Amino acid sequence: MPKPRYRLQALLIIKTRAKKRAEEALARALIALKRAKDRLEALKKEKEEIQEKWKKARAEMKGKMQGGALVKEGNVHVNFLRKLKEDEEAKQVEIEEQEQVVEECVENVARTRRAYIDAARELQVMEKHKELWEKKIRDELTRKEEHEMDELGSTIHQLRRWRGEKSVFET
């Protein structure tokens, strides 16, 4: 007798593939989150460097002005300081935008993690169903075999009685 085919095997395959896709989506979301956080840290570092440049330029300008520098040199320093301040403000805007990107990535990770958990749970349910189905099939097969063995034993017993043979257990 051929082994019965699990009728939901196609669905099990679909659930397995869905879990794999959810797992890959989660991995991509985690990578995107890490990149976004790395970019945010780089932007913060760049802003700190701009602030350090501004402090150094300010101290340098103060030193030159105390030593008696020309007005033209003062204007150059003021323009340079103004440009550094503008760069710092632009960097702050970039940081705020990147923080939004990080927030979106965190939300995406949460969404994809939920999808992965759901897909894994659905697959687990399907696998459990298949295990129970296989156990049921094994139990039915065992029961049929036992029934056939009982019938065979009964038939042999009836034949021996009919022939007048004594059982091994009879003395």
Phi-psi category of residue 3: left, alpha or beta, with phi > 0 → left and psi -120 to 50 → alpha: beta
Task: Report the predicted TM-score, pTM, of the whole model to 2 decimal places.
Answer: 0.72
pLDDT confidence of residue 130: 94
The mean pLDDT value for 29-43 works out to 96
- Give the pLDDT band (50/70/90) at residue 160: confident
**What DSSP designation does 169 have?**
T
Whether the predicted pLDDT of 74 surpasses 80:
no
In single-letter form, the type of residue at position 100 comes to Q
pLDDT confidence of residue 42: 96
Burial of 113 (0-12, 13-18, 19+ CB in 10 A): middle
Cα separation of 64 and 32, whole Å?
48
Q: Provide the token pair at 60.
A: 């340098």
pLDDT confidence of residue 72: 66
pLDDT confidence of residue 167: 64
Domains in the chain and their CATH numbers?
Answer: 9-124 (1.10.287.1700)
- Give the pLDDT band (50/70/90) at residue 108: very high
The mean pLDDT value for 12-31 works out to 96
